[in-house]
Amino acid sequence: MGDVAKDLAAGTVGGAAQLVVGHPFDTIKVKLQSQPPKYAGAFDAVKQTIAAEGAGGLYKGMGAPLATVAAFNAVLFTVRGQMEALLRSEPGATLTIGQQVICGAGAGLAVSILACPTELVKCRLVTWFHCSSAATVALKYGGPMDVAKQVLRSEGGTRGLFKGLVPTMAREIPGNAAMFGVYELLKQKMAGGEDTSKLGRGSLMLAGGLAGASFWGSVYPTDVVKSALQVDDYSKPKYSGSMDAFRKILAAEGVKGLYKGFGPAMGRSIPANAACFLAYEVTKSSLG
């Protein structure tokens, strides 16, 4: 099996593992970002979500990312792998950490196009319950495909599905640059050198978890702006663009407003990315 096929397969398995472990945390993160007055904090958001929608509410919106997780992670790891091949001075040569950062940035650019519409559908589904009266809860969307249909029909066609593309790119490019750079750096530190092939699963999980934390730690405010734009009312928009959303959130809520949902995001990033990188490494190794 060729390197591209291995990256495609391993990236798909890694992404699925990441999604299953991390989606409930992501649900709470989006709720806190887009509906802050409704919740007193992450635990309150969990309690209200389960009370209103059952435990399944924590997995609401999972269909959209699950449907695209194969493509997303296949692109992420395959582009990274191909960039590694281009930057190597000779086959098998170990890349510097700086080169790994470049590979991560390139992979982040590539996946931004896939991430934006997927994230828009997910964010809409996570916040699809709205109170029409004190005793009534109404559904705005019937599911992922219904979100896409409504956006295409009434929010400017295909352009509507790419609402929030700029902050998505501002998240994915530096975020993945940091994540892959930190991942390789930690692996080399734990291995005591450039050869990391003998690292155990615990070390791979630790490196992957901390690498995921570096992703969110470096770009979190851009994710808040992205979510705010993607759930904004199309007919009566609150924000005119990314910078306007940034300024208004900062003016209304201060710096704290740019870190709404940061706790769940970081709580998700460590176990979810530990699972992702472990699944990726084990799958690729099993494929030779």
List, for residues 144-170, the tens digit of each pLDDT value. Answer: 889 999 999 999 999 999 999 999 999
pLDDT of residue 111: 94
pLDDT of residue 139: 60
- Whether the per-residue pLDDT at 4 is higher than 50: the answer is yes
**Nearest-CA neighbor of 224 among 25, 30, 1?**
30
pLDDT, tens digit (0-9, with 9 covering 90-100), for 237-254: 999 999 999 999 999 999
Residue 153, CA distances (Å) to 197, 236, 255 in order: 51, 17, 36
- The predicted model gives 249-271 an average pLDDT of 91
Q: What angle do CA 224, 118, 68 make, to 5 degrees?
A: 135
pLDDT, tens digit (0-9, with 9 covering 90-100), for 37-94: 788 888 888 888 888 888 878 877 676 667 677 678 889 999 999 999 999 988 878 8
- Round to whole Å and give the CA distance between 285 and 87: 22
- Whether the per-residue pLDDT at 135 is higher than 50: the answer is no
pTM metric for this prediction? 0.83
Average pLDDT, the chain: 88
Residue 96 DSSP label = P
- The predicted model gives 7-27 an average pLDDT of 86
Contact 30, 264 (CB under 8 A): no
